[in-house]
Structures are given as structure tokens and as C-alpha cells.
Amino acid sequence: MPGPISPFERGEGMRLYDQHGREFLDFHAGVAVNALGHGDPHLVSALKAAAEKVWHTANTFTIPEQERLGQRLVDATFADAVFFTNSGAEALECAIKTARHYFWAKGETDRSDIIAFTGAFHGRTLGTIAAGGNPDYLEGFGPAAPGFKHTKPGDLDAVRALITPQTCAILIEPVQGEGGVTAMSAEFMQGLRALCDEHGMLLILDEVQCGFGRTGRFFAHEWSGITPDIVAVAKAIGGGFPLGACLAKGDVAASMVPGTHGSTYGGNPLATAIGNAVLDRILAPGFLDQVNTMGQRLAWHLQQLAQKYPDHVLELRGKGLLAGIKIATPVRDMVTRLRDDHQLLTIGAGENVLRLLPPLIVTEADIEEAMTKIGAAFDAIDAVNAAPATGS
């Protein structure tokens, strides 16, 4: 039953079903949000239980689920302080404000410049489109918020050249998602940490897409062995419920006392009850090891695909279950073809990269099935190209 899909009606694990009952294999996961796939029984029961209790009180009052989630994140990571948001962009806004306020409170009031990177994506608010620096996302929205300088990732000398006494922080995604699935090397991440230490700057990481287990570690930056000062997370943290967080070291967050920043919904009882349920699963013994193994299996299968289809696969990118295939044909067409003709859900990224972001519960059988579907799509393209031209 080929043809355009109808809206999804139901989901189970790695699969989504549209209104016609057609089954789709999900390597899109709501853009890395559905870390535990669809309809996870533990998350469903957590939401149902939370729905019977208090939905919302605002942060005027103590929210036990929020305190518990914050404490668990502190226990599991580098952070001493957590601020909850409803989205990734808000987590980045909090990160940027925290960095600037840290220096302001120290009396370094004009130290507010942030070095960021080309190919970055940090969200769609006025602040985060300026931080991302993508001209397509800035166009038409008035003057860009000041205080951001950009250079290409991977070049430490270029970063060094941008540092001035006004520079307060470096902001980077350890694996760029939207921009083209580019994983930073451990050496580059360590070099950025060293530059921040040398110049008394803060290192802010955007782990909204690559964090929360996606690369096979809790945070992607763990692969480089560095400790950041501030990390923004979202997407997988709520497993599909809108939730984000800004994590920071204690001294860095110290000046962000009540009143300096805030959010009405951020960390509300419903959201943080689900956040706790997601964390139950991700921190369960063996879960991240399994994600890591699947990330390695995906990389291996992608290499096989690249060998079989050298004319289609130009480059393999990414880390763990955030994988990219730079392809020779337009990625938009490929995403549509995979969805409509092969019932595989994927997403494009910059630089004509096909992005694969399966839920973290993916099995090797799912990976093999996805590879078969992508191979079949390449075959179909080749068949069209090989067919003798019709008409005059």
C-alpha cells in the first residue's frame, strides 16, 4: 500500500502505525525525543499516576518530583545545580544567562561574548538563533542578538584567535545534530576545555540531542573525559513530554538565586514525574551498555552499507545512535522515499546528511531491517537511473 502516509494513530516500541494501519519502523524518534520508543509501559503508568495527583503548582511551592529529579541528575553527572525548562531552547537560554551572570556577579560586567560554531543548532528563540548563527534561521527576524562569534569546529587556533577579554564562554554541541551529524574529536573537546581553563572562560555544552544516552554514555562529552561547566539537555529527558534542563557546577550557578531567572511551567509535577520515570530506565544497570553496543552495531552495519553502495554513501558520520549518512541524492527525497515506499522514518540534517536517530531501545534486528530498507531505496534509485529513457 504505497503512497503518502496518514497521521500516526498508535505506537509500540520501535513502531508507529498510521490511520490506515500501516506500520513504520521509527529511526526518527521524534527527533531524538522518544528515547524509550512509543508506549513504554513504565512511562505510561508514571503519566497516569501523575495525572491523578497535582498537575501544576508553579515553582512558588516545593515540587517533590522536581526535587527528586534534580537530585538524581546531580548524583549522576558533573552538576551541582539544575534548572528545569520546557524545551531545549529554554535550556540554552538558561545556560547563556547563567554564564553571563556568573561574570557579572564577579564584577566583570562587560564579559558576555560567547564563541560558538558554524553548523551549530541551539534552538529557535531570538537568543538561540543568534547563538546558532545559521543565516537561514536569522533572516527576517530583525537584528541578531549580539554577543556571539562563530568559527568552524575542529580548529583550535581559530577558536583561540576569537578570544578577547570580553569572552565569557565557549558553546558547542559535542555531536552536532541538525547541522550535519558531526562528532567532535576528543582532542578538540579537550583543547576547548584547556582554552577555557587558560582564559578563565566557561565551557557550555549543548547536549539537547546527543545527551541522555544517545551516544552510549549518559552524556556525549564523557567520551572525551572532560568536565563542562554548564550543560543544556532536553529532548530525551522527557521521553516525549516537554521537559528540558540546564545543569551547572555549583560555583557557576551560585549567582542564579531565586528571582534572577524563572519559568512558570519548568519542572512542573507532571513533567518531572515522567522525567523520573525516563531516568529509571536510562540509569537501570546495563541500559547504557546496551545502547553503546547497538551504536557500535549500527556503525558496523553502516560500513557494510557504504561498501555495498559506494555511489550513494559519500561519508558516514556521528556517534552511537546519532548516526549520519552523507548521500549523493537529495536527502529530502530520500527521507520521503524511505517513509512512503519502505516504511522507515528518518530525518535529514545539514550538508545532505540522512540522520538516523532510533529510540535507544533499538535491537540489532531493527538495525538490520533499517539497512535493508535503505539498501532497497538505493536499488530503486539505481533502477530508475538505469532504465532506458522513454519519450523522444
319 is catalytic: no
Check the annotation: does 391 bind a ligand: no
Query: Of 14 and 210, which has the nearer Cβ to ligand PLP?
Result: 210
Active-site pick, 78, 117, 121, 148? 121
Partner residues linked to 248 by β-bridges: 81, 230
Smallest gap from Cβ 337 to ligand PLP, in A, equals 24
Smallest gap from Cβ 133 to ligand PLP, in A, equals 13
3-state secondary structure the chain: CCCCCCCEEEEEECEEEECCCCEEEECCHHHHCCCCCECCHHHHHHHHHHHCCCCCCCCCCCCHHHHHHHHHHHHHCCCCEEEEECCHHHHHHHHHHHHHHHHHHCCCCCCCEEEEECCCCCCCCHHHHHHHCCHHHHCCCCCCCCCEEEECCCCHHHHHHHCCCCEEEEEECCEECCCCCEECCHHHHHHHHHHHHHHCCEEEEECCCCCCCCCCCCCHHHHHCCCCCEEEECHHHHECECCEEEEECHHHHCCCCCCCCCCCCCCCHHHHHHHHHHHHHHCCCCHHHHHHHHHHHHHHHHHHHHHHCCCCEEEEEEECCEEEEEECCCHHHHHHHHHHHHCEECEEECCCEEEECCCCCCCHHHHHHHHHHHHHHHHHHHHHHHCCCCCC
d(CA 62, CA 128): 30
Check the annotation: does 208 bind a ligand: yes
Query: Of 218 and 378, which has the nearer Cβ to ligand PLP?
Result: 218
Check the annotation: does 209 bind a ligand: yes
Query: Of 233 and 291, which has the nearer Cβ to ligand PLP?
Result: 233
Closest residue to ligand PLP using C-beta atoms: 88
Query: Of 26 and 173, which has the nearer Cβ to ligand PLP?
Result: 173
Query: Of 40 and 206, which has the nearer Cβ to ligand PLP?
Result: 206
Active-site pick, 26, 113, 206, 229? 206
Check the annotation: does 183 bind a ligand: no
Smallest gap from Cβ 173 to ligand PLP, in A, equals 5
206 is catalytic: yes
Q: Is 365 exposed, middle or buried (0-12, 13-18, 19+ CB in 10 A)?
A: exposed
Smallest gap from Cβ 312 to ligand PLP, in A, equals 26
Active-site pick, 24, 78, 188, 235? 235
Smallest gap from Cβ 332 to ligand PLP, in A, equals 19
Check the annotation: does 207 bind a ligand: yes
Check the annotation: does 88 bind a ligand: yes
d(CA 152, CA 159): 8
188 is catalytic: no
Give the pairing type, strands 113-117 and 167-172: parallel
Smallest gap from Cβ 333 to ligand PLP, in A, equals 23
Q: Which residues bind ligand PLP (CB under 6 A)?
A: 87-89, 92, 121-123, 173, 177-178, 206, 208-209, 234-235
Query: Of 234 and 313, which has the nearer Cβ to ligand PLP?
Result: 234
Annotated binding site: 88-89, 121, 124, 206-209, 263-264
Annotated binding site for N(2)-acetyl-L-ornithine: 124, 263
Annotated binding site for pyridoxal 5'-phosphate: 88-89, 121, 206-209, 264
Query: Which residues are marked as active site?
Result: 121, 206, 235
